[in-house]
Amino acid sequence: MGNEKLVDVMYGSETGNAEAIARRIHAELGDHGFAAGCILPLDSYEQTSLCHGDGKGPVESRLFVFVISTYGDGDAPLNSNRFFKYLRKKSHPVDALQHVSYAVLGLGDTNYTNFCNGSKRLERVLKKYGARNVYHRGEADDEIGLHLVVEPWIDGLWDAINKYFGAEAIPPALHAQPEKLDASPAKAPTQLNGVPRPAEFKLRIEESVGAVEKTWTNTEKGEFQDTFTGRVCGARLLTSTSCDKRVWHMEVESDNNLSYQPGDAFSIRVRNNVEEVDELLAILKVDGNKVISIYDGENLVNGPEKVKDILGWRYDIRSPASKKLLRALADSCTDPADEQRLLLWSSRTGK
C-alpha cells in the first residue's frame, strides 16, 4: 500500500439515489484527508483494479466504498449486472479479490421482499473471492427515510477508513458546531457539520433562441421509450396518516393505446398547478418565457428551455426545500446573517 490514502467509490443505482450518495462520499474524501480515486458504476469494473487479481502478478491493495440499491424483487440495479456476471465466472481463483478491502452501503425499502438484497449479494460475492470488510454493512430503508441510516453510516465511515490506513482521524472539533457560530460567510461551511458542497452547475440565460419545444417529453438517455398523457382516476392511502412516509395506491387512465409486458416500469411526470407556477414566478420576479440552459462545466445538462416549463414539469414546487437548494440560496445571499442562517439549515446540525 502506498503512502497515498486512495479510496475508490463505486455504485449500483437504478433511480439515482445510490449514485448521488456515492458521489457525495467521493466528494467529501478530500475533506477527511483521503485521496479520491475513481467514482464509477459497478459495470465499469474493468477501469478499476477490481478485476486485476486473476493471477496476473502482484496487485496493489485498494480500498473501495460501494453504494448499491435494490429494486423489484430483490434485484440489483441494471448498471451492476455486468459486474455480477463477471464474478459468476468459474475461472476466477478463490483469492481473486484478496487485494480488495471494502465498505458497503445498501439502499432498500421494507415494503418489498428481499430488503437490501443488492448489498447482501454484493458482500457475499466480495467475501467469496477473498475481499476484506473494514466497516459494517449499512442498510438504509426508504420506507422510514434513507437518511436515518445513511448519515450515521457515513459519519462512522471516516473512522473506519482511518483505521484501515492506520492513521488518526481528523479531530472532531474541525467538523463540530461551535457554541457560537461566526457569521462570516467564509468560515460558516467549515464550522457546521454536513453542509452540502457548493453547486457546480451554472445557469445561462439564452438571449437569442428560436422557438423552444417542451423537452420534458423527450426520451432521456434511452431510458423512456414512449410518453403518454393520463388522468388520475383513483387514489387510496395505504398507510396510516401518522406514518412519516405515506404510500398511495394510484389508478391512472389514458386515452392512448398502451402496450406493456409484466415487469415493465412506468415513470410518472406530474405537472404543477399552472396558477401556483405563475405565483412563484411573480414572487421571484422572473419572466417565465425566459429561456435558460444549465451546464455542468462545459457540458449541457438541461435546456434550452423556458423557465415556466422547467418549474411546471421538472420540479415539485410544493416539496420542502432540499438542503442542496438551501446551500444554493446561501451562495446567492448578500446579507451575511441570512447566508449563515441558510447554511445552518442546510447542515445536519440544523436539520
Q: What is the pLDDT of residues 229-256, one digit of tens each?
A: 888 899 998 887 776 667 788 888 888 7
User: 191 vs 165, which has greater pLDDT?
Assistant: 165
Q: Does residue 54 surpass a pLDDT of 60?
A: no
Q: Which pLDDT score, from 0 to 100, does residue 196 have?
A: 66
Peptide bond into 304 cis (omega under 30): yes
Distance CA 287, CA 170 (A): 47
φ/ψ of residue 77, rounded to 5: -60, 155
Q: Does residue 57 surpass a pLDDT of 70?
A: no
Question: What secondary structure does DSSP assign to 256-292, as a single string?
Answer: S-----TT-------PPPHHHHHHHHHHHT--TT-EE
User: In this structure, are strands 138-141 and 100-108 parallel, antiparallel, or unpaired?
Assistant: parallel
The band of 190, judged by pLDDT with boundaries at 50, 70 and 90, is very low
Q: Which pLDDT score, from 0 to 100, does residue 157 have?
A: 95
Q: Among residues of the chain, what percentage have pLDDT more than 90?
A: 31
User: 264 vs 328, which has greater pLDDT?
Assistant: 328
Q: Which pLDDT score, from 0 to 100, does residue 322 have?
A: 78
The band of 348, judged by pLDDT with boundaries at 50, 70 and 90, is low
Query: What is the arithmetic mean of pLDDT over 77-105?
Result: 88
User: 348 vs 58, which has greater pLDDT?
Assistant: 348
The band of 195, judged by pLDDT with boundaries at 50, 70 and 90, is low
Q: Does residue 72 surpass a pLDDT of 70?
A: yes
The band of 339, judged by pLDDT with boundaries at 50, 70 and 90, is confident
Nearest to 153 by CA among 285, 250, 21, 52: 21
Highest mean pLDDT of the ranges 58-72, 172-186, 243-257: 58-72
Q: Which of 107-121, 148-162, 212-226, 290-304 has the lowest mean pLDDT?
A: 212-226
* Alpha helices, H only, 173-322: 188-191, 274-284, 307-309
The band of 179, judged by pLDDT with boundaries at 50, 70 and 90, is very low
Q: Which pLDDT score, from 0 to 100, does residue 138 have?
A: 95
Residues facing residue 136 across a β-bridge: none
User: 129 vs 205, which has greater pLDDT?
Assistant: 129
User: 230 vs 107, which has greater pLDDT?
Assistant: 107
The band of 300, judged by pLDDT with boundaries at 50, 70 and 90, is confident
Dihedral (C-alpha) 45, 50, 55, 58: value to the nearest 10 degrees? 130
Query: What is the arithmetic mean of pLDDT over 79-88?
Result: 89
User: 232 vs 224, which has greater pLDDT?
Assistant: 232
Q: Which pLDDT score, from 0 to 100, does residue 201 have?
A: 67
Listed in order, strand segments (DSSP E) in 118-272 are: 132-133, 138-141, 201-205, 231-237, 248-253
Q: Which pLDDT score, from 0 to 100, does residue 174 have?
A: 35
Q: Which pLDDT score, from 0 to 100, does residue 350 have?
A: 64
The amino acid present at 224, given as its one-letter code, is F
Q: Which pLDDT score, from 0 to 100, does residue 9 have?
A: 96
pLDDT mean across residues, the chain: 79
